[in-house]
Amino acid sequence: MSQSVPLTKESYECLQEELKRLIKEERPKVIQDIAEARSHGDLSENAEYDAAKHRQGFIEGRILELQDKLARAYVVDLSNLKPDKVVFGATVTVYDTASEEEVTYKIVGEDEADIKLGKISCTSPVGKAFIGHKLDDTVKVNVPSGLREYEIIDIKYE
């Protein structure tokens, strides 16, 4: 898996913080939990030991995943760009012709996507469709509920 991972600055910092927390806090705690559970005797019927080992596996897997992702990450810097078209990291306000409402989305990486916060993945059908379009463009997107049409009314790089 050598494909680079685009991240916003805030997402990169969050992943770094999570990695630090896992290494400095969670890993030592689970090692201590395993040692304590081991001291209770027979490991074959020790639910505490099994749970701690399971948690350790999860933590170690997540540490490896974060290290890999951060090693392949590139932070998209929008400060030198003119907000004339939708790119990764842009915040785009669109007019949904079907619902007749304005909606604002931030185009982010897969890990950051959270529709409740208005963050959509650059690999989602809607995110892909918006990228490269300019102000006042009409974008047609085929989504599970059918064909949707959006008009781009504002683009910001925040």
What's the domain count of the chain?
Answer: 2
Q: What is the average pLDDT score of the chain?
A: 89
Instruction: Please indicate, yes or no, if residue 142 is contained in any of the structural domains.
Output: yes
DSSP notation for 29-49 = HHHHHHHHHHTTS-GGG-HHH
Give the tens place of pLDDT for each residue, 29-74: 999 999 988 887 777 777 888 899 999 999 999 999 999 999 999 8
Instruction: Please indicate, yes or no, if residue 83 is contained in any of the structural domains.
Output: no
Q: Decide which of 64 and 78 is more confident.
A: 64
DSSP designation for 127: H
- Crossing angle of helices 9-21/47-72, nearest 10°? 150
Instruction: Characterise 132 by phi-psi region: left (phi > 0), alpha (psi -120 to 50), beta (else).
Output: left
- Return the CATH number at 130: 3.10.50.30
Distance CA 115, CA 121 (A): 9
Residue that terminates a domain, selected from 24, 46, 75: 75
Neighbours of 131 (CB within 10 A): 16
Question: What is the number of helices (H) and of strands (E) in the chain?
Answer: 4, 7
- Return the CATH number at 68: 1.10.287.180
Instruction: Please indicate, yes or no, if residue 82 is contained in any of the structural domains.
Output: no
Confidence (pLDDT) at 2 = 65
For residue 95, give its domain range: 90-157
**Nearest Cα to 107, choosing from 16, 6, 1, 21?**
6
Checking if the pLDDT of 145 tops 90, the result is no
